[in-house]
Amino acid sequence: MSEERLRVGVQLPEVERDVRWPEMLAIAERAEASGYDSIWLGDHMLYRGGGREERGPWDVWTTLAALAASTEHVQLGPLVASTAFHPPGVVARMAATIDEISSGRFILGLGTGWNEAEFRAFGIPFEHKVARFEEAFTIIRRLLARERVTFTGRFYQTDEAVLLPPPNRQVPLLVGTSGPRVLAASSPHIQYWNCWYSWYGNTPSGFAKLSATVEGNFRRSACVLVTAGDGGERPLDPTSPPVAATALRRHLNELHAAGADEVILVLDPINEHSVAAVAEELALKPRE
C-alpha cells in the first residue's frame, strides 16, 4: 500500500443525460470546493445501440480548456482521450495548451478507443487500433518531452514537428488499458495507469488481482462506481455492482490497501448534490 494518502477524483457527466455548460461548470466548481483532487471527462462522440437512444457528450478538449480556465486547484484530464480521433501532433498541442491554461494541473489520459459506432459514424479507421496507438503514443510523448520529432510509421508521419511555444513542463501521462500491447508500449513512459470499474468488478479484491498483472513504476488509479441516494442514471451491471455512498469510506480504504493510489468516482446520479454529499461522506477537506 502507498504511504501517501489516497487521492480522490470524480468523473463529470458524459451521456447520463443532456448536461449544458452552466451545469457542467457548476458541478466542476462544486467538486473543487468540496475537496476533490481531480475532475475527469470521457472522450466520446456518439453512442448507438444497446436498446437506448442515440446520445453523445460535448467535445472533451474544448470543455477541458474551459474548465482549466474556470478552476484553480483541481487536476483535470480526459478519461481517456482516444489517440485515434486526432493526429498525434494535434493531441500533443492541445494537451500542452490546456496544461498552460491550468497552470500545470493537466494530466493527459490516453487510450485506443473502443466504441466502433462512433469511429464508423465520423469516418475514423477502426482497424489496427493498437498499432495506431503505438505510433501515436510515441509521437505524443516525445513532443511533450520537448523533442523535435521526425517519425515515419505505417499510419503517422511527422517532419521535424515541435511544440511552440514550448511547454512549461512535461505533461504527465496516464494510460487507461488492460491490454498487454498498449501497456508494453506505454508503461516505461507513463506516470499513471487507470482501470475502469467494470474491468475489475468494482471490488477491492478484483482490483488487486488486475493490478497484479500490470507491471510498471507508476501510480495506480481505479474508477469506482458509486450509488448516491437512489441512483438510477446508469443501467445496472450485475458483474460490477455499485458501492453505496454510505459504505464508500471503507471500500476506498480497502482499495488503498490493495494498492490503489487514486480513485476516480463515477457517481450515479452525477450532479452537484451527489458530488457534495459524497465529499461529506468521505470527510474531504473543503476549500475556501
Q: Are 268 and 257 in contact (CB under 8 A)?
A: no
In this structure, how many other beta carbons lie within 10 angstroms of the beta carbon of residue 242?
Answer: 19
- Position 2 scores a pLDDT of 46
The answer to whether residue 117 scores a pLDDT higher than 90 is yes
- Count Cα atoms within 13 angstroms, Cβ side, for 203: 8
Question: In one letter, which amino acid is 145?
Answer: A
The answer to whether residues 174 and 194 touch, using CB atoms and an 8 Å cutoff, is: yes
> Is a pLDDT exceeding 70 seen at residue 1?
no
Report pLDDT for 3. 58
Burial of 256 (C-beta count, 10 Å sphere; 0-12/13-18/19+):
buried
* Rg, the chain, Cα only: 18
Q: Which tens digits make up the pLDDT trace of 28-48?
A: 999 999 999 999 999 999 999
Contacts 24+ apart (CB under 8 A), 236-245: 237/198, 239/198, 239/201, 240/197, 240/198, 240/201, 240/202, 241/202, 242/202, 242/268, 243/202, 245/274, 245/277, 245/278, 245/281
Give the predicted TM-score (pTM) of the model: 0.96
In whole angstroms, what is the distance from residue 38 CA to residue 9 CA? Answer: 4
pLDDT in tens, 204-242: 999 999 999 999 999 999 999 999 988 889 888 999 999
Distance (Å) of CA 227 to CA 30, 234, 259, 269? 18, 9, 23, 7
With pLDDT > 70 as the criterion, what percentage of the chain qualifies?
Answer: 99
For the chain, what percent of residues have pLDDT higher than 90?
93
Give the model confidence (pLDDT) of 57-102 as tens digits. 999 999 999 999 999 999 999 999 999 999 999 999 999 999 999 9
- When pLDDT is averaged across residues 123-137 and rounded to a whole number, the result is 97
Pairing of strands 149-152, 192-195: unpaired
> Is pLDDT of 16 > 70?
yes
d(CA 62, CA 74): 17
